């Protein structure tokens, strides 16, 4: 059997693990329930992919992010690793085939959205699968104290009983101490579990907050000063385009991105940015998840995020290569006032929630007692206009219905056309003989798409039309005819947002909305927003100290890179005490290497801290050298 390092090199081309990936992998291989708290870009996926590849059986990966699931399946397939994903938008027949293949050992990884865990079709096959690991991505979603609670995550503990000896690996980039404890409890970790945490301190990141009435000119100034590629986050889709156009007018190669764009357009914009053809992408939070670009030099927020978790995750997309990078937040009083107003709109009345629920069910003509686990295309803008409901209210009602486990809303995900044959070769040949005009398209499908008899194959109608020298409309008509005659199943391409009913439709009298729970969520949200506003408005405490403290790290740290630290240092450097300490250290290290502790005052805590500050300054300014014995010598 390949070792962990051999597996890493063989499949992924890396020679060494980052800290603490190797220890996490060993914990999983030892059969222990494990939680890994790694920052954005910390290499979480390898922590379950490596141990899964080293063992017999299949790894079940639970993730709420469909785009990320699809991307990881694509990346694994490129490396010759068999993987599949099940999420909203797939037909029952597609899911049936995937689960069959999982049961019989064809796939090594199955990515699955949490709402699919409790379906009978999944549970019955899961019982019979040879499972080697359950990996829970975005594990903070299981906690009601987190910033993105999703009730279907609670089903993970329920499915564990079918494979009680199989370990669970919970992965997250942002979880407070309270959320970490909740994850351990809700996933029913066994007593010998292990927890691995990488510090939330990002030593190469400079966090900056600026109060600016004219934010756009300041943004231009930041981009012009820092250089390199970057991301600008805004809250609305319209604003992405407005800001990108402003940057273009100021000679900055910028583009905009949001979930409402067509698949090909999103891919092109993303690809141009990754290849540095575009310097800056102005986007909503739909951008960045799963994108592997290590040389992002800056992330700027033009709107205040609603939680520290969201901010840290998005800001953390800068500087993954370890080089100095910047996370800037620009705000003004209007932003504060807007957030204060909107926070009360986030939790609509029970009456409005029921109104939106009924409107959606009526819109899709779903009768009471039916519709469970059905997925429909859903354009929230068209729906809101049709039913005369304000878009923000519709969205907030849907989020409550999600958290009450009635519905699941998904952003637009591109689903290419798919085909699978439903008859054996003998019956197919008989049909070809009897229907010669369909012989060409059948042969084209069999030749172009391997495995189309056993699996759904992604097809391209335009390519088939070119090959057969007919129109796309003719290709579609022939495919529909073959489907009508039960030779194949044809699912046409789609990239609309979707909504899934997780339970059958209820009469509004039986629709239970837990107002106590909503009030608890409201209290949590208000606390998160309060922390974020404190971070934004204060100018006395190190930015990274606030972030680390929020996530449970109480070390007395100062990053010496954020705007607060730099301003404090600037003032400090002009004091007589600083000058005296600097002269003392340089004079005493002129001739020989001196142990650092010999240079620090022994008694006064303030003076001790001052000397450490001076030493750090002299090292940064290259006026002082340090060796591996922690000894200092002036240059």
Tell me: the pLDDT tens digits for 94-135?
A: 899 999 999 999 999 999 999 889 888 999 999 999 999 999
pLDDT tens-digit map of 461-497: 999 999 999 999 999 999 999 999 999 999 888 777 8
Give the pLDDT confidence score for residue 605 in this predicted structure.
56
pLDDT tens readout for residues 295-343: 999 999 999 999 999 999 899 999 988 899 999 999 999 999 988 888 8
pLDDT of 574: 66
DSSP secondary structure, 59-96, as one string: EEEE-S-HHHHHHHHHHHHHTT--EEEE-TT--HHHHH
Query: pLDDT for 427-467, tens place per residue?
Result: 988 998 899 999 999 999 999 987 888 788 889 999 999 99
The answer to whether the beta carbons of residues 348 and 393 sit under 8 Å apart is yes
Give the DSSP H or E segment for 29: helix 21-29
Do 170 and 24 form a contact (C-beta atoms < 8 A)? no
Dihedral-angle region of residue 320 (phi above 0 means left; psi in -120 to 50 means alpha; beta otherwise):
alpha
Closest CA to 27 of 59, 58, 61, 50: 50
Q: Which CATH number fits domain 4-197: 3.30.930.10, 3.40.50.720, 3.40.50.300, 3.40.50.2000?
A: 3.40.50.300
State the DSSP H helix or E strand holding residue 312, giving kind and residue range, or none if neither: helix 308-315
For residues 397-414, give the mean pLDDT: 83
Is the dihedral angle over the CA atoms 41, 47, 49, 53 positive or is it negative?
positive
Compute how many other C-beta atoms are within 10 angstroms of the C-beta atom of residue 499.
Answer: 23
* Residue-range domain boundaries for the chain: 4-197, 205-332, 343-410+500-524, 418-491, 573-634
Task: Report helix, strand or coil for 435.
Answer: coil
Half-sphere exposure of 26 (CA within 13 A, CB side): 8
DSSP of 160-213, one letter per residue?
Answer: HTTSTTS-EEEEES---HHHHHHHHHHTT--TT-EEEE--S--TTEEEEEEE-S
Closest to 445 (Cα-Cα) out of 461, 434, 433: 461
Q: Measured in whole angstroms, how far is the alpha carbon of residue 46 from the centre of its chain?
A: 15
Check for a shared fold between 205-332 and 573-634: no
CATH C-level class of 205-332: alpha beta
**Separation between Cα atoms, residue 539 and residue 565, nearest integer Å:** 9
DSSP string, 524-567: HHHHHHHHHHHHHH--SS-HHHHHHHHTT-------S-SHHHHH
Instruction: State the pTM of this model.
Output: 0.79
The number of beta carbons lying within 10 Å of the beta carbon of residue 60 is 27
Q: Cβ distance 255 to 272 under 8 Å?
A: yes
Query: What CATH class is the domain 343-410+500-524?
Result: mainly alpha
Mean pLDDT (the chain) is 89
Task: Tell me if 135 sits within 8 A of 62, measured CB to CB.
Answer: yes
At 578 the pLDDT is 80
The pLDDT of residue 606: 57
What is the C-alpha separation between 243 and 203, in angstroms, rounded?
A: 30
Q: Can you give the pLDDT at residue 611?
A: 84
Token pair 């219905």 in the structure block, residue: 401
Looking from the CA of 397 toward its CB, the CA atoms found within 13 Å total 20
User: Would you state the structure tokens that stand for residue 170, as one six-digit string?
Assistant: 């919970």
**CATH number for the domain formed by residue range(s) 573-634:** 1.10.10
Percentage of the chain modeled with pLDDT above 70: 97
Tally Cβ neighbours within 10 Å of residue 512.
10
* Torsion from C-alpha of 202, 205, 206, 212, nearest 10 degrees: -110
């Amino acid at each position: 059997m390949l070792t962990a390092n051999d597996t890493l090199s063989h499949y992924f081309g890396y020679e060494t693990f980052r800290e603490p990936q190797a220890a996490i992998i060993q914990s999983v291989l030892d059969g222990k329930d494990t939680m890994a708290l790694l920052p954005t870009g910390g290499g979480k996926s390898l922590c379950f992919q490596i141990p899964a590849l080293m063992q017999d059986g299949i790894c079940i990966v639970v993730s709420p992010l469909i785009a990320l699931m699809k991307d990881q399946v694509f990346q694994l397939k490129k490396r010759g690793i068999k993987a599949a994903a099940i999420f909203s938008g797939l037909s029952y027949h597609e899911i049936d085939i995937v689960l069959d293949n999982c049961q019989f050992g064809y796939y090594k990884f199955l990515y699955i959205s949490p709402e699919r865990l409790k379906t009978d079709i999944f549970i019955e096959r899961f019982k019979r699968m040879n499972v080697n690991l359950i990996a829970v991505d975005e594990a903070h979603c299981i906690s009601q104290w987190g910033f993105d609670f999703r009730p279907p995550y609670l089903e993970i503990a329920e499915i564990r009983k079918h494979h009680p000896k199989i370990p669970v690996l919970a992965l997250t980039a942002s979880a407070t101490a309270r959320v970490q404890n909740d994850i351990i409890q809700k996933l029913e970790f066994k007593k010998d579990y292990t927890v691995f945490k990488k510090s939330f301190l990002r030593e190469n990141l400079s966090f900056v907050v600026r109060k600016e009435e004219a934010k756009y000119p300041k943004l231009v100034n930041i981009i012009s000063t820092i250089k390199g590629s970057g991301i600008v986050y805004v809250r609305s889709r319209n604003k992405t385009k407005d800001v990108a156009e402003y940057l273009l007018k100021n000679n900055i190669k910028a583009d905009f991105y949001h979930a409402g764009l067509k698949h090909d357009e999103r891919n092109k914009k993303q690809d141009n940015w990754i290849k540095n053809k575009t310097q800056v992408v102005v986007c909503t939070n739909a951008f960045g998840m799963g994108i592997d670009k290590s040389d992002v030099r800056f992330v700027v927020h033009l709107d205040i995020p609603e939680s520290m978790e969201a901010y840290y995750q998005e800001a953390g997309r800068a500087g993954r290569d370890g080089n100095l990078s910047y996370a800037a937040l620009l705000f003004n009083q209007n932003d504060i006032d807007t957030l204060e107003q909107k926070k009360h709109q986030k939790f609509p009345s029970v009456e409005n929630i029921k109104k939106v629920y009924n409107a959606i069910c009526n819109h899709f003509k779903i009768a009471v007692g039916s519709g469970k686990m059905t997925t429909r295309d859903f354009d929230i803008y068209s729906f809101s206009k049709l039913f005369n409901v304000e878009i923000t209210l519709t969205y907030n009602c849907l989020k409550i219905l999600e958290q009450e486990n009635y519905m699941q809303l998904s952003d637009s995900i591109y689903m290419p056309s798919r085909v699978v044959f439903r008859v054996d070769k003998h019956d197919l040949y008989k049909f070809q003989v009897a229907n010669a005009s369909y012989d060409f398209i059948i042969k084209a499908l069999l030749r172009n798409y391997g495995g189309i008899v056993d699996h759904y194959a992604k097809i391209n109608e335009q390519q088939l039309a070119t090959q057969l020298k007919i129109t796309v409309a003719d290709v579609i008509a022939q495919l529909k005819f073959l489907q009508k005659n039960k030779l194949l199943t044809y699912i046409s391409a789609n990239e609309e947002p979707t909504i899934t009913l997780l339970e059958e439709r209820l009469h509004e009298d039986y629709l239970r909305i837990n107002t106590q729970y909503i009030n608890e969520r409201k209290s949590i949200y208000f606390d998160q927003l309060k922390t974020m506003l404190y971070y934004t408005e204060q100018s006395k405490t190190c930015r990274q100290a606030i972030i680390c403290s929020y996530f449970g790290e109480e070390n007395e740290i100062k990053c010496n890179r954020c705007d607060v630290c730099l301003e404090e240092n600037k003032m400090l450097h002009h004091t007589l005490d600083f000058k005296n300490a600097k002269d003392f250290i340089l004079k005493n290290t002129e001739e020989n290497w001196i142990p650092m502790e010999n240079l620090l005052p022994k008694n006064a805590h303030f003076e001790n801290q001052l000397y450490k500050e001076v030493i750090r300054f002299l090292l940064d300014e290259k006026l002082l050298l340090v060796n591996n014995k922690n000894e200092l010598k002036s240059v």
